[in-house]
Structure 1
Amino acid sequence: MKSFIALFAILLFSLISNAQEESETFLIEKDTWSLGGFLSIGGSNREDTDMTPYNDLDSFSFSIRPETGYFVSDNLALGLSLGYSYGRTKYNGSELRDKSIRHNIMVSPYARKFFAISPKIAFTLMGSLEYSYDRFENIGDSDLDYTETNIYGVNLRPGFSYLLSDKFTIDANIGNIYYSYLDRLNDGREDMSSSNYGLNLSSNIYLGIRYYIN
Protein backbone atom coordinates (compact mmCIF):
# COMPACT_ATOMS: atom_id res chain seq x y z
CA MET A 1 0.00 0.00 0.00
CA LYS A 2 2.82 2.42 0.83
CA SER A 3 4.43 1.71 -2.57
CA PHE A 4 1.11 2.39 -4.27
CA ILE A 5 0.70 5.71 -2.44
CA ALA A 6 4.27 6.72 -3.34
CA LEU A 7 3.72 5.89 -7.01
CA PHE A 8 0.39 7.76 -7.06
CA ALA A 9 2.07 10.83 -5.51
CA ILE A 10 4.79 10.78 -8.18
CA LEU A 11 2.22 10.53 -10.98
CA LEU A 12 0.06 13.31 -9.52
CA PHE A 13 3.02 15.64 -9.01
CA SER A 14 4.19 15.06 -12.57
CA LEU A 15 0.75 15.73 -14.06
CA ILE A 16 0.40 18.99 -12.10
CA SER A 17 3.91 20.13 -13.05
CA ASN A 18 3.44 19.34 -16.73
CA ALA A 19 0.12 21.17 -16.81
CA GLN A 20 2.03 24.34 -15.93
CA GLU A 21 4.69 24.13 -18.63
CA GLU A 22 4.99 23.01 -22.20
CA SER A 23 7.39 20.21 -23.07
CA GLU A 24 7.80 17.47 -25.58
CA THR A 25 6.27 14.00 -25.33
CA PHE A 26 7.96 11.28 -23.27
CA LEU A 27 10.78 10.03 -25.47
CA ILE A 28 13.74 7.68 -25.17
CA GLU A 29 15.51 7.85 -28.50
CA LYS A 30 16.73 5.11 -30.80
CA ASP A 31 20.32 3.87 -30.19
CA THR A 32 20.06 4.53 -26.43
CA TRP A 33 21.35 1.86 -24.02
CA SER A 34 19.72 1.16 -20.67
CA LEU A 35 21.22 -0.41 -17.55
CA GLY A 36 19.34 -1.74 -14.55
CA GLY A 37 19.00 -4.63 -12.14
CA PHE A 38 19.06 -5.37 -8.43
CA LEU A 39 21.22 -6.87 -5.71
CA SER A 40 20.02 -8.33 -2.42
CA ILE A 41 21.77 -9.95 0.55
CA GLY A 42 20.01 -11.25 3.63
CA GLY A 43 20.10 -13.69 6.49
CA SER A 44 18.28 -14.82 9.61
CA ASN A 45 18.83 -16.71 12.82
CA ARG A 46 15.96 -18.48 14.54
CA GLU A 47 15.93 -20.61 17.68
CA ASP A 48 12.87 -22.32 19.13
CA THR A 49 13.78 -25.04 21.63
CA ASP A 50 10.15 -25.97 22.29
CA MET A 51 9.52 -27.13 18.72
CA THR A 52 11.25 -29.31 16.12
CA PRO A 53 14.94 -28.86 15.21
CA TYR A 54 13.82 -27.40 11.86
CA ASN A 55 12.86 -24.26 13.77
CA ASP A 56 16.43 -23.85 15.07
CA LEU A 57 18.31 -22.63 12.04
CA ASP A 58 20.63 -20.09 10.43
CA SER A 59 20.05 -18.92 6.88
CA PHE A 60 21.81 -16.71 4.33
CA SER A 61 20.75 -15.60 0.84
CA PHE A 62 22.30 -13.65 -2.01
CA SER A 63 20.75 -12.57 -5.32
CA ILE A 64 21.94 -10.47 -8.25
CA ARG A 65 20.09 -9.67 -11.49
CA PRO A 66 21.76 -7.25 -13.94
CA GLU A 67 19.82 -6.09 -17.00
CA THR A 68 20.72 -4.25 -20.19
CA GLY A 69 18.64 -3.04 -23.13
CA TYR A 70 19.10 -1.33 -26.51
CA PHE A 71 16.50 0.91 -28.14
CA VAL A 72 16.01 -0.34 -31.69
CA SER A 73 13.58 2.55 -32.29
CA ASP A 74 12.17 5.44 -30.26
CA ASN A 75 10.56 4.10 -27.04
CA LEU A 76 11.14 0.44 -27.98
CA ALA A 77 13.94 -1.56 -26.34
CA LEU A 78 15.19 -5.12 -26.74
CA GLY A 79 17.23 -6.45 -23.87
CA LEU A 80 18.54 -9.27 -21.74
CA SER A 81 18.29 -9.96 -18.02
CA LEU A 82 20.57 -12.45 -16.24
CA GLY A 83 20.25 -13.66 -12.69
CA TYR A 84 21.97 -15.75 -10.07
CA SER A 85 20.85 -16.48 -6.52
CA TYR A 86 22.30 -18.55 -3.70
CA GLY A 87 20.68 -19.66 -0.47
CA ARG A 88 21.98 -21.67 2.48
CA THR A 89 20.13 -22.91 5.53
CA LYS A 90 21.88 -24.62 8.45
CA TYR A 91 19.69 -26.82 10.69
CA ASN A 92 21.11 -26.74 14.19
CA GLY A 93 20.58 -29.96 16.11
CA SER A 94 18.65 -31.78 13.39
CA GLU A 95 19.27 -35.52 13.05
CA LEU A 96 17.97 -35.60 9.47
CA ARG A 97 20.10 -32.96 7.80
CA ASP A 98 23.00 -30.60 8.50
CA LYS A 99 22.15 -27.94 5.91
CA SER A 100 20.54 -27.28 2.55
CA ILE A 101 21.91 -25.24 -0.35
CA ARG A 102 20.08 -23.74 -3.31
CA HIS A 103 21.55 -22.34 -6.54
CA ASN A 104 19.42 -20.65 -9.20
CA ILE A 105 20.47 -19.33 -12.64
CA MET A 106 18.10 -17.30 -14.83
CA VAL A 107 18.19 -16.00 -18.43
CA SER A 108 15.46 -13.74 -19.84
CA PRO A 109 15.42 -11.88 -23.20
CA TYR A 110 12.73 -9.19 -23.39
CA ALA A 111 11.08 -6.42 -25.40
CA ARG A 112 9.84 -3.26 -23.68
CA LYS A 113 7.57 -0.60 -25.21
CA PHE A 114 6.88 2.86 -23.77
CA PHE A 115 3.53 4.57 -24.46
CA ALA A 116 3.67 8.28 -23.62
CA ILE A 117 1.07 9.63 -21.19
CA SER A 118 2.75 12.97 -20.48
CA PRO A 119 6.22 14.49 -21.00
CA LYS A 120 7.44 12.70 -17.86
CA ILE A 121 5.28 9.57 -17.64
CA ALA A 122 4.84 6.53 -19.89
CA PHE A 123 2.80 3.38 -19.64
CA THR A 124 5.01 0.36 -20.38
CA LEU A 125 4.50 -3.18 -21.60
CA MET A 126 7.33 -5.69 -21.26
CA GLY A 127 7.15 -9.13 -22.85
CA SER A 128 9.80 -11.67 -21.87
CA LEU A 129 10.86 -15.26 -22.31
CA GLU A 130 12.35 -16.77 -19.17
CA TYR A 131 14.42 -19.84 -18.38
CA SER A 132 15.75 -20.75 -14.96
CA TYR A 133 17.67 -23.70 -13.57
CA ASP A 134 17.32 -24.44 -9.87
CA ARG A 135 19.36 -26.98 -7.85
CA PHE A 136 18.46 -27.76 -4.25
CA GLU A 137 20.81 -29.97 -2.19
CA ASN A 138 20.38 -31.62 1.18
CA ILE A 139 23.57 -32.34 3.14
CA GLY A 140 23.16 -34.91 5.93
CA ASP A 141 21.20 -38.10 6.62
CA SER A 142 18.20 -37.43 4.41
CA ASP A 143 16.27 -39.57 1.91
CA LEU A 144 16.57 -36.75 -0.61
CA ASP A 145 20.03 -35.69 -1.76
CA TYR A 146 19.11 -33.12 -4.41
CA THR A 147 16.51 -31.89 -6.87
CA GLU A 148 17.05 -30.15 -10.21
CA THR A 149 14.32 -28.01 -11.72
CA ASN A 150 14.05 -26.44 -15.18
CA ILE A 151 11.45 -23.70 -15.54
CA TYR A 152 10.36 -22.18 -18.86
CA GLY A 153 8.10 -19.15 -18.91
CA VAL A 154 6.47 -16.35 -20.89
CA ASN A 155 5.48 -13.09 -19.19
CA LEU A 156 3.73 -9.87 -20.12
CA ARG A 157 4.19 -7.13 -17.51
CA PRO A 158 2.38 -3.74 -17.51
CA GLY A 159 3.87 -0.82 -15.65
CA PHE A 160 4.80 2.85 -15.58
CA SER A 161 8.00 4.85 -16.02
CA TYR A 162 8.68 8.30 -14.60
CA LEU A 163 11.43 10.29 -16.35
CA LEU A 164 13.62 11.90 -13.68
CA SER A 165 16.06 13.23 -16.31
CA ASP A 166 17.43 12.17 -19.69
CA LYS A 167 19.61 9.67 -17.77
CA PHE A 168 17.27 8.10 -15.19
CA THR A 169 13.76 6.71 -14.87
CA ILE A 170 11.85 5.30 -11.91
CA ASP A 171 10.04 2.17 -13.09
CA ALA A 172 7.14 0.26 -11.56
CA ASN A 173 5.68 -3.14 -12.48
CA ILE A 174 2.10 -3.71 -11.35
CA GLY A 175 1.55 -7.41 -12.08
CA ASN A 176 1.85 -9.83 -14.98
CA ILE A 177 0.15 -12.24 -17.35
CA TYR A 178 2.17 -15.44 -17.30
CA TYR A 179 2.62 -19.01 -18.44
CA SER A 180 5.27 -21.36 -17.06
CA TYR A 181 6.26 -25.01 -17.46
CA LEU A 182 8.24 -26.84 -14.77
CA ASP A 183 10.24 -30.07 -15.12
CA ARG A 184 11.84 -31.48 -11.94
CA LEU A 185 14.35 -34.27 -11.34
CA ASN A 186 14.68 -35.94 -7.93
CA ASP A 187 18.17 -37.45 -7.39
CA GLY A 188 18.57 -37.64 -11.18
CA ARG A 189 15.20 -39.33 -11.79
CA GLU A 190 12.24 -37.59 -13.36
CA ASP A 191 9.99 -36.55 -10.49
CA MET A 192 7.23 -34.28 -11.79
CA SER A 193 6.21 -31.74 -14.40
CA SER A 194 3.55 -29.06 -14.27
CA SER A 195 2.32 -25.97 -16.08
CA ASN A 196 0.83 -22.79 -14.67
CA TYR A 197 -0.78 -19.75 -16.20
CA GLY A 198 -2.77 -16.79 -15.00
CA LEU A 199 -3.26 -13.09 -14.53
CA ASN A 200 -1.71 -11.41 -11.50
CA LEU A 201 -2.73 -7.80 -10.83
CA SER A 202 -2.21 -7.73 -7.08
CA SER A 203 -1.57 -4.70 -4.89
CA ASN A 204 2.19 -5.40 -4.96
CA ILE A 205 4.12 -2.74 -6.89
CA TYR A 206 7.80 -3.28 -7.63
CA LEU A 207 9.91 -0.12 -8.00
CA GLY A 208 13.32 0.19 -9.66
CA ILE A 209 15.69 2.74 -11.21
CA ARG A 210 17.12 2.49 -14.73
CA TYR A 211 20.09 4.39 -16.19
CA TYR A 212 20.32 5.44 -19.85
CA ILE A 213 23.39 5.99 -22.05
CA ASN A 214 22.82 8.06 -25.18
Structure 2
Amino acid sequence: MKKVLLGLLFLATMSMSAQETEFESPYSKGNFSIGGGFAIYNSENTNVNFTNTESKNYSINPSVGFFIKDNLMIGINTRYTKTQNVNEINGTENSMETDSYALGIIADKYYKIYKSFFLNFSGSIMYGTTNVTRANNTNTNNTDDEYFVVGVSPELSYVLNKHMSLKVGFNDLLSYRYSKNEDPGGREQSSSNLYTSLGSSSLLSDLSIGFRYFF
Protein backbone atom coordinates (compact mmCIF):
# COMPACT_ATOMS: atom_id res chain seq x y z
CA MET A 1 0.00 0.00 0.00
CA LYS A 2 2.88 2.40 0.80
CA LYS A 3 4.43 1.77 -2.64
CA VAL A 4 1.11 2.51 -4.34
CA LEU A 5 0.71 5.79 -2.43
CA LEU A 6 4.28 6.82 -3.26
CA GLY A 7 3.65 6.04 -6.93
CA LEU A 8 0.52 8.19 -6.98
CA LEU A 9 2.39 11.02 -5.25
CA PHE A 10 5.15 10.80 -7.88
CA LEU A 11 2.64 10.99 -10.74
CA ALA A 12 0.90 13.95 -9.15
CA THR A 13 4.22 15.78 -8.66
CA MET A 14 5.30 15.19 -12.27
CA SER A 15 1.94 16.36 -13.56
CA MET A 16 2.04 19.48 -11.36
CA SER A 17 5.40 20.50 -12.80
CA ALA A 18 4.16 20.08 -16.38
CA GLN A 19 0.66 21.50 -15.91
CA GLU A 20 -0.38 24.51 -17.95
CA THR A 21 -0.98 27.80 -16.16
CA GLU A 22 -4.67 27.83 -17.11
CA PHE A 23 -6.49 25.05 -15.30
CA GLU A 24 -9.24 23.16 -17.16
CA SER A 25 -11.49 21.11 -14.92
CA PRO A 26 -12.66 17.71 -16.21
CA TYR A 27 -15.68 17.90 -13.88
CA SER A 28 -17.67 19.85 -16.47
CA LYS A 29 -21.28 19.55 -17.62
CA GLY A 30 -21.66 17.13 -20.54
CA ASN A 31 -18.55 15.05 -19.81
CA PHE A 32 -18.66 11.28 -19.48
CA SER A 33 -16.40 9.45 -17.05
CA ILE A 34 -15.24 5.91 -16.40
CA GLY A 35 -13.08 4.78 -13.53
CA GLY A 36 -13.00 2.97 -10.25
CA GLY A 37 -10.99 2.09 -7.21
CA PHE A 38 -9.53 -0.84 -5.33
CA ALA A 39 -8.84 -1.63 -1.70
CA ILE A 40 -6.52 -4.25 -0.18
CA TYR A 41 -6.08 -4.95 3.53
CA ASN A 42 -4.30 -7.74 5.44
CA SER A 43 -3.79 -8.13 9.19
CA GLU A 44 -2.57 -10.81 11.59
CA ASN A 45 -2.63 -10.87 15.38
CA THR A 46 -1.37 -13.38 17.95
CA ASN A 47 -1.94 -12.93 21.69
CA VAL A 48 -0.82 -14.61 24.89
CA ASN A 49 -3.90 -16.87 24.96
CA PHE A 50 -2.55 -18.77 21.93
CA THR A 51 -5.17 -17.17 19.69
CA ASN A 52 -4.12 -16.35 16.15
CA THR A 53 -6.37 -14.20 13.97
CA GLU A 54 -5.71 -13.47 10.31
CA SER A 55 -7.85 -11.26 8.07
CA LYS A 56 -7.57 -10.58 4.34
CA ASN A 57 -9.88 -8.61 2.13
CA TYR A 58 -9.91 -6.77 -1.15
CA SER A 59 -12.49 -4.99 -3.27
CA ILE A 60 -12.80 -3.41 -6.70
CA ASN A 61 -15.52 -1.01 -7.77
CA PRO A 62 -15.68 0.14 -11.43
CA SER A 63 -18.18 2.85 -12.36
CA VAL A 64 -19.39 4.99 -15.26
CA GLY A 65 -21.00 8.41 -15.00
CA PHE A 66 -22.23 11.57 -16.72
CA PHE A 67 -21.92 15.17 -15.51
CA ILE A 68 -25.40 16.66 -15.51
CA LYS A 69 -23.88 19.98 -14.39
CA ASP A 70 -20.46 21.28 -13.43
CA ASN A 71 -19.02 19.30 -10.50
CA LEU A 72 -22.02 16.95 -10.25
CA MET A 73 -21.95 13.43 -11.73
CA ILE A 74 -24.55 10.67 -11.66
CA GLY A 75 -23.80 7.12 -12.73
CA ILE A 76 -23.79 3.38 -12.21
CA ASN A 77 -21.46 1.65 -9.79
CA THR A 78 -20.53 -2.01 -9.30
CA ARG A 79 -18.49 -3.61 -6.54
CA TYR A 80 -16.89 -6.98 -5.86
CA THR A 81 -15.57 -7.70 -2.37
CA LYS A 82 -13.84 -10.80 -1.02
CA THR A 83 -12.96 -11.33 2.64
CA GLN A 84 -11.19 -14.16 4.47
CA ASN A 85 -11.02 -14.43 8.26
CA VAL A 86 -9.27 -17.26 10.10
CA ASN A 87 -9.30 -17.64 13.88
CA GLU A 88 -7.15 -20.38 15.47
CA ILE A 89 -7.41 -21.19 19.19
CA ASN A 90 -5.25 -23.96 20.66
CA GLY A 91 -5.12 -25.81 17.33
CA THR A 92 -8.84 -25.44 16.54
CA GLU A 93 -9.39 -23.40 13.39
CA ASN A 94 -12.53 -21.48 12.49
CA SER A 95 -12.76 -19.64 9.20
CA MET A 96 -15.22 -17.46 7.32
CA GLU A 97 -14.97 -16.49 3.65
CA THR A 98 -17.32 -14.13 1.81
CA ASP A 99 -17.84 -13.21 -1.84
CA SER A 100 -20.03 -10.17 -2.45
CA TYR A 101 -21.36 -8.64 -5.68
CA ALA A 102 -23.27 -5.34 -5.77
CA LEU A 103 -24.79 -2.98 -8.35
CA GLY A 104 -26.24 0.47 -7.81
CA ILE A 105 -26.44 4.16 -8.62
CA ILE A 106 -24.09 6.92 -7.48
CA ALA A 107 -24.05 10.71 -7.27
CA ASP A 108 -20.68 12.46 -6.93
CA LYS A 109 -20.31 16.10 -5.89
CA TYR A 110 -16.92 17.81 -6.30
CA TYR A 111 -15.60 20.85 -4.43
CA LYS A 112 -12.38 22.56 -5.50
CA ILE A 113 -10.14 23.12 -2.48
CA TYR A 114 -6.76 24.16 -3.96
CA LYS A 115 -5.52 24.34 -7.55
CA SER A 116 -5.89 20.77 -8.91
CA PHE A 117 -7.15 19.25 -5.64
CA PHE A 118 -10.84 18.49 -5.18
CA LEU A 119 -12.85 17.11 -2.28
CA ASN A 120 -15.56 14.72 -3.42
CA PHE A 121 -18.53 13.19 -1.61
CA SER A 122 -19.94 10.11 -3.34
CA GLY A 123 -23.40 8.92 -2.35
CA SER A 124 -24.60 5.48 -3.44
CA ILE A 125 -27.59 3.14 -3.23
CA MET A 126 -26.67 -0.47 -3.97
CA TYR A 127 -28.24 -3.92 -4.05
CA GLY A 128 -25.99 -6.91 -3.53
CA THR A 129 -25.66 -10.59 -2.75
CA THR A 130 -23.11 -12.29 -0.53
CA ASN A 131 -22.11 -15.94 -0.29
CA VAL A 132 -20.75 -16.81 3.16
CA THR A 133 -18.77 -20.00 3.84
CA ARG A 134 -18.07 -20.93 7.46
CA ALA A 135 -15.81 -23.85 8.35
CA ASN A 136 -14.08 -25.46 11.31
CA ASN A 137 -12.20 -28.69 11.93
CA THR A 138 -15.35 -30.81 11.59
CA ASN A 139 -17.88 -29.18 9.23
CA THR A 140 -18.61 -26.51 6.62
CA ASN A 141 -21.80 -24.58 5.86
CA ASN A 142 -22.85 -21.96 3.31
CA THR A 143 -25.41 -19.17 3.45
CA ASP A 144 -26.51 -16.57 0.90
CA ASP A 145 -27.36 -13.01 1.93
CA GLU A 146 -29.19 -10.26 0.08
CA TYR A 147 -28.66 -6.65 1.09
CA PHE A 148 -29.37 -3.01 0.35
CA VAL A 149 -26.87 -0.38 1.40
CA VAL A 150 -26.97 3.43 1.32
CA GLY A 151 -23.52 4.90 1.79
CA VAL A 152 -21.44 8.08 1.68
CA SER A 153 -17.79 7.89 0.62
CA PRO A 154 -15.48 10.92 1.01
CA GLU A 155 -12.62 11.17 -1.50
CA LEU A 156 -9.71 13.46 -2.31
CA SER A 157 -8.98 13.83 -6.04
CA TYR A 158 -6.02 15.28 -7.91
CA VAL A 159 -6.55 16.34 -11.53
CA LEU A 160 -3.65 15.33 -13.77
CA ASN A 161 -5.17 16.91 -16.89
CA LYS A 162 -8.57 17.42 -18.54
CA HIS A 163 -8.87 13.67 -19.17
CA MET A 164 -7.53 12.04 -16.00
CA SER A 165 -7.65 12.32 -12.22
CA LEU A 166 -6.37 10.21 -9.32
CA LYS A 167 -8.34 9.69 -6.13
CA VAL A 168 -8.05 8.27 -2.64
CA GLY A 169 -10.92 7.83 -0.19
CA PHE A 170 -12.90 5.59 2.13
CA ASN A 171 -15.64 3.27 0.84
CA ASP A 172 -18.97 3.79 2.65
CA LEU A 173 -17.42 5.62 5.58
CA LEU A 174 -20.98 6.18 6.75
CA SER A 175 -23.67 3.72 5.66
CA TYR A 176 -27.05 2.18 6.41
CA ARG A 177 -27.42 -1.51 5.56
CA TYR A 178 -30.39 -3.88 5.47
CA SER A 179 -29.75 -7.59 4.88
CA LYS A 180 -31.68 -10.84 4.96
CA ASN A 181 -30.73 -14.51 4.71
CA GLU A 182 -31.69 -18.03 5.72
CA ASP A 183 -29.91 -19.76 8.57
CA PRO A 184 -28.73 -23.40 8.21
CA GLY A 185 -32.15 -24.51 9.52
CA GLY A 186 -34.00 -22.72 6.72
CA ARG A 187 -35.37 -19.91 8.88
CA GLU A 188 -35.34 -16.44 7.31
CA GLN A 189 -33.74 -13.69 9.33
CA SER A 190 -32.99 -10.03 8.69
CA SER A 191 -30.99 -7.20 10.21
CA SER A 192 -30.39 -3.50 9.71
CA ASN A 193 -27.78 -1.14 11.08
CA LEU A 194 -26.19 2.27 10.76
CA TYR A 195 -22.42 1.92 10.48
CA THR A 196 -19.29 4.06 10.39
CA SER A 197 -15.69 2.86 10.38
CA LEU A 198 -14.42 6.09 11.97
CA GLY A 199 -12.40 5.23 15.05
CA SER A 200 -12.55 1.48 14.36
CA SER A 201 -9.89 -1.04 13.36
CA SER A 202 -11.65 -1.56 10.01
CA LEU A 203 -10.98 2.00 8.81
CA LEU A 204 -7.88 0.98 6.83
CA SER A 205 -9.78 -1.84 5.13
CA ASP A 206 -12.11 0.79 3.64
CA LEU A 207 -9.23 2.84 2.17
CA SER A 208 -9.58 2.89 -1.62
CA ILE A 209 -7.25 4.17 -4.35
CA GLY A 210 -8.34 4.73 -7.93
CA PHE A 211 -8.67 6.95 -10.99
CA ARG A 212 -11.21 8.54 -13.32
CA TYR A 213 -10.96 9.09 -17.09
CA PHE A 214 -13.07 11.81 -18.74
CA PHE A 215 -14.23 12.23 -22.33
Could you state the TM-score of these two structures normalised by the residue count of structure 2? 0.64
Q: Distance in 2 between matches of 1:61 and 1:122?
A: 28
Structure 1 residues without counterparts, runs of 5 or longer: 45-50
Listed as ranges, the matches of 1:150-165 within 5 Å are 150-165=146-161
Count of residues paired in the alignment: 194
Matched, 1:186 2:183: yes
Q: Following TM superposition, by how much is the alpha carbon of 1:34 offset from its aligned partner in structure 2, in angstroms?
A: 2.5
Letter in 2 for 1:208: I
Matched, 1:108 2:104: yes
How big is each residue's C-alpha offset from its partner over 1:133-184, in whole Å with a ceiling of 9 and x where there is no partner?
1112457953x63212122111122232111222222212257222111212
Matched, 1:37 2:37: yes
- 1:48 maps to what in 2? none
- 1:117 maps to what in 2? 113
Closer, same or farther in 2 for the Cα pair 1:199/1:95, shift >3 Å?
closer
Letter in 2 for 1:180: R
Contact 1:26 1:122 in 2 (8 A): no
Letter in 1 for 2:213: Y
Structure 2 residues without counterparts, runs of 5 or longer: 45-49
Q: Which has the larger radius of gyration?
A: 1
| Aligned-CA RMSD value | 4.4
Matched, 1:172 2:173: no
Secondary structure of 1:189's counterpart equals: coil
Q: Distance in 2 between matches of 1:71 and 1:129?
A: 18
Report which of the two has the higher share of strand: 2
Q: Distance in 1 between matches of 2:197 and 2:134?
A: 33
Contact 2:26 2:214 in 1 (8 A): no
Contact 2:32 2:64 in 1 (8 A): no
Identity, in percent, stands at 22
Secondary structure of 1:28's counterpart equals: coil
Closer, same or farther in 2 for the Cα pair 1:155/1:85, shift >3 Å?
closer
